[in-house]
């Protein structure tokens, strides 16, 4: 069987045959048939907009790999900072490289005092921390004029380091502001996840339980990248205009904020709280199936149509955390929902399974995070994924400024009508 595809334009009889490589054929073939012919593909369901060697995802088989390494192995054996290095550089660091990388990240965690005193203090007292984070990421870029120099590798590496190191600091700062607590400065003696927990929770003496530190790190690993999702696509689209990486990352974080994307874990906890008790689960499932508009949040995925491997790891992590914190009272409702949905033809036929957000919210809540912080917790580790893709984009000779075409469905040409004639 030849690995080619032949397309015939029946209007002209013109035929073109092009190779299929890795399940993909170039859209340039369509251009060759007729430069005015476009493919209508809302939400890019069938379109590969780039080549990427960062993350491999097979939704049917439930496979997720970073640079070839299975997510299960990384979640069990690695650390977030090691994974960040891997995503950015393509290989796991050597012992020496890891020491340097950890040192570099640790020594870029502080932010300019004006960010806190003038910028963050300007928010309304009840500002949503994710809204604050999105704008803080963009504002951070204004402190680094060299960030605009995206053609220099040295400058790119510096901004990457800054963004990875400062994202937990910004996140914790937004939280502390929202609850009116004084800001806790980064502690260079702590690990990446422990430093974040410390900046979040330290009031007087604060001891970090190593099991919770590890759980935080595992959650960071699981959320570090997920190939061309909505947020990463936003990063690539804005980055393709050669905007600086802070502005591009702020766009990516904005996309993540939406309830169909990173906002889903927040929606899951709200949904579980609304359901209230196990007895109400069947009625809720019926409501979802009735097409009333309610969705079973934390279920379904654009790509995973079998299971989300991250959800399996997260469920286990949830139990590790509950051993320390005590069980989240919403867990029983979640388990009942999962059991009911997985045996209901509505969900089975549509291949709807728990996604990464179904259990992550319960863990975050058990760790003490308010619901409004959940998407922020997603944004911290995803920053490295955005940056790995940004870096890849800038080095990709095939790429240009993102500029999709449209299918115009508006009025035909018509003459301007004077106000009195309308
Ligand atoms: N609950 C109930 N029905 C659902 C759900 C759900 N969670 N998800 C999809 N469906 C149904 C749709 O109504 C549709 O049914 P139909 O064929 O009868 O019209 C069918 O399943 C296909 O759904 P689509 O919306 O076409 O699937 P799509 O791939 O566009 O959506 C998405 C994926 C957005 C994740 C969706 O499943 C959803 O809204 N889930 C809930 C929100 C969520 O958990 N988001 C987190 C995703 S993971 C992440 O971003 C990190």
- Identify the residues whose C-beta falls under 6 Å from ligand 1: 260-262, 264, 288, 295-302, 350, 352, 355-357
From the CA of 378, give the closest atom in ligand 1.
51
Residues 6+ apart with CB under 8 A from 269: 330, 361, 362, 365, 371, 374
What's the CA-to-centroid distance between 295 and ligand 1, angstroms?
7
| Model pLDDT for residues 284-341, shown as the tens digit of each residue | 999 999 988 889 999 998 888 888 899 889 989 998 999 999 988 899 999 999 999 9
∠ CA 233-144-170, rounded to 5° = 65
Q: Is the pLDDT confidence value at 379 over 90?
A: yes
CATH 3.10.310.10 fits 73-397, yes or no: no
Helix boundaries (H) for 326-373: 331-342, 345-349, 357-366
Q: Clarify whether 205 is annotated catalytic.
A: no
Please report, for residues 94, 157, 224, 380, 394, the alpha-carbon distance to residue 387 in angstroms, rounded to integers and kept in the order given: 21, 10, 10, 12, 11
Over residues 56-82, mean pLDDT: 96
Residues 166-224 have pLDDT tens digits of 999 999 999 999 889 999 999 999 999 999 999 999 998 889 999 999 999 999 999 99
Indicate the angle between helix axes 192-201 and 210-222, nearest 10 degrees.
110
Q: Using one digit for the tens of pLDDT, what is the confidence trace for 333-364? A: 999 999 999 999 999 999 999 988 888 988 99
Q: From the CA of 301, how far away is ligand 1's center (Å)?
A: 6
Nearest protein CA to atom 39 of ligand 1, as residue: 260
Q: How far apart are CA 154 and CA 151, in angstroms?
A: 9
Averaged pLDDT for residues 68-74? 97
- Indicate which residue of 217, 244, 308, 357 is catalytic: 357
The ranges assigned to domains in the chain are 4-58, 73-397
Catalytic residue among 128, 223, 226, 301: 301
The dihedrals phi and psi of 214, each to the nearest 5 degrees, come to: -65, -40
Which of 269, 322, 378, 309 is closest to 71 using CA atoms?
Answer: 309
Catalytic status, residue 357:
yes
**pLDDT for residue 386:** 98
Higher pLDDT, 2 or 389: 389
d(CA 249, CA 232): 9
Q: Catalytic: 41?
A: no
Nearest-angstrom CA–CA distance, 233 and 389: 9
User: What is the full DSSP assignment across 41-75?
Assistant: -GGGTT---S--SSEEEETTTTEEEETTEEHHHHH
- Residue 107, SS3 per DSSP: coil
């Amino acid at each position: 069987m030849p690995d080619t595809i032949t397309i015939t334009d029946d209007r002209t009889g013109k035929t073109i045959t092009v190779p299929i490589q890795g399940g993909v054929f170039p859209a340039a073939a369509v251009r060759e048939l007729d430069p005015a012919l476009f493919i209508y593909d809302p939400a890019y369901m069938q379109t590969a907009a780039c080549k990427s060697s960062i993350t491999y995802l097979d939704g049917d088989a439930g496979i997720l790999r970073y640079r070839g390494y299975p997510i299960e192995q990384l979640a069990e054996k690695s650390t977030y900072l090691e994974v960040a290095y891997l995503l950015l550089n393509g290989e796991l660091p050597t012992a020496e490289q890891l020491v340097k990388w950890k040192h570099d990240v640790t020594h870029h965690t502080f932010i300019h005092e004006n960010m806190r005193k003038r910028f963050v203090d300007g928010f309304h007292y009840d500002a949503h921390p994710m809204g604050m984070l999105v704008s803080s990421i963009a504002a951070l870029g204004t402190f680094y004029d060299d960030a605009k120099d995206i053609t220099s590798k040295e400058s790119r590496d510096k901004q990457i380091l800054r963004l990875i190191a400062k994202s937990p600091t910004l996140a914790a700062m937004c939280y502390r502001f929202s609850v009116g607590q004084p800001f806790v400065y980064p502690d260079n003696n702590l690990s990446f996840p422990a430093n974040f927990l410390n900046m979040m929770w330290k009031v007087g003496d604060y001891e970090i339980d190593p099991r919770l530190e590890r759980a935080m790190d595992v959650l960071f690993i699981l959320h570090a990248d997920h190939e061309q999702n909505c947020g990463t696509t936003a990063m690539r689209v804005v980055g393709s205009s050669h905007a600086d990486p802070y502005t591009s990352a702020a766009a990516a974080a904005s996309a993540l904020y939406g309830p169909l994307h990173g906002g889903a874990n927040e929606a899951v906890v709200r949904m579980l709280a609304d359901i209230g008790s196990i007895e109400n689960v069947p009625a809720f499932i019926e409501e979802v199936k009735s097409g009333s508009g309610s969705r079973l949040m934390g279920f379904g995925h654009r790509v995973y149509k079998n299971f989300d491997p991250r959800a399996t790891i997260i469920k286990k992590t949830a139990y590790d955390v509950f051993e320390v914190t005590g069980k989240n009272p919403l867990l029983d409702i979640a388990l009942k929902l999962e059991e009911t949905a997985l045996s209901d033809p509505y969900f089975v036929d549509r291949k709807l399974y728990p996604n990464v957000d179904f259990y992550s919210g319960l863990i975050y809540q058990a760790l003490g995070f308010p619901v409004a912080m959940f998407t922020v917790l997603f944004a911290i580790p995803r920053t490295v994924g955005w940056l790995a893709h940004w870096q890849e984009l800038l080095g990709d000779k095939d790429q240009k400024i993102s500029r999709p075409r449209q299918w115009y469905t508006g009025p035909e040409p018509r003459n301007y009508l004077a106000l009195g004639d309308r």
